[in-house]
Homo-oligomer: A and B are copies of this chain.
Amino acid sequence: MPERGRPRSFDRASALRRAMEVFWAKGYEGASLSDLTAAMGINSPSLYAAFGSKEALFLEATDLYTRSEGTDIWSTLEEAPTARLAIEGFLTQTARAYAQTDRPQGCLIALGALHQDSTQGLICQDLRRRRAENQTALERRLGRAVAEGELPADFDCQAAATFFATVQHGMSIQARDGATHAALMATVAGAMAAWTTMAGADA
């Protein structure tokens, strides 16, 4: 039990949540230590003692983001009875999440650090890995539908996964530009129109 020494005077979990919101709104390089400590209600030595560095704090924040904000989106993908409903639900949940007005618009994973840099190569790499994982999850779900006979055997799961992942990334920028939930749903409708063609006219 690490109960030796002076106890921490702030709640680590809620401080991490505040940090996540700052990174989410401003991106990795746009979020300064001053921004972070102000939002977390602590001084920089406490931040470094509890999280190690700005980089480590960001990695932990993105992990929290994935666990807290991403679950609705990705559980829908896995749990929907058909692949069509899975993709539709995945995109619909995305539209709902990205347009919420009580938090930053768009996705932290997609927008957090797009410009590679010597000082933030690790950050870019981590976000890129997470984006790749998400696309893989889409591909797996489609592959399952092929295996189950819902989709034809020659269905190009990889191409379709690329397409739907790209649409979701675009929705992040759209949301950042202030798009309404209705506008995001127009994009969802477009993507699902593609599904109709890709899966065969009767799907």
Contact = CB atoms under 8 A, between A and B. Distances in A.
- Greatest chain B CB density within 10 A among A25, A177, A189, A198 is at A177
A181 to B, nearest CB: 12
B163 A169 contact: no
- Greatest chain B CB density within 10 A among A164, A167, A194 is at A194
A196 interface: yes
A190 B128 contact: no
Number of copies: 2
Contacts of A194: 190-191, 193-194, 197
B114 A27 contact: yes
B177 A162 contact: no
A100 interface: no
Interface in A127-186: 128, 131-132, 156, 158-160, 162-174, 176-177, 179, 183, 186
A114 B173 CA distance: 8
Contacts of A30: 29, 115, 117
B177 A132 contact: yes
A111 interface: yes
A171 B169 CA distance: 8
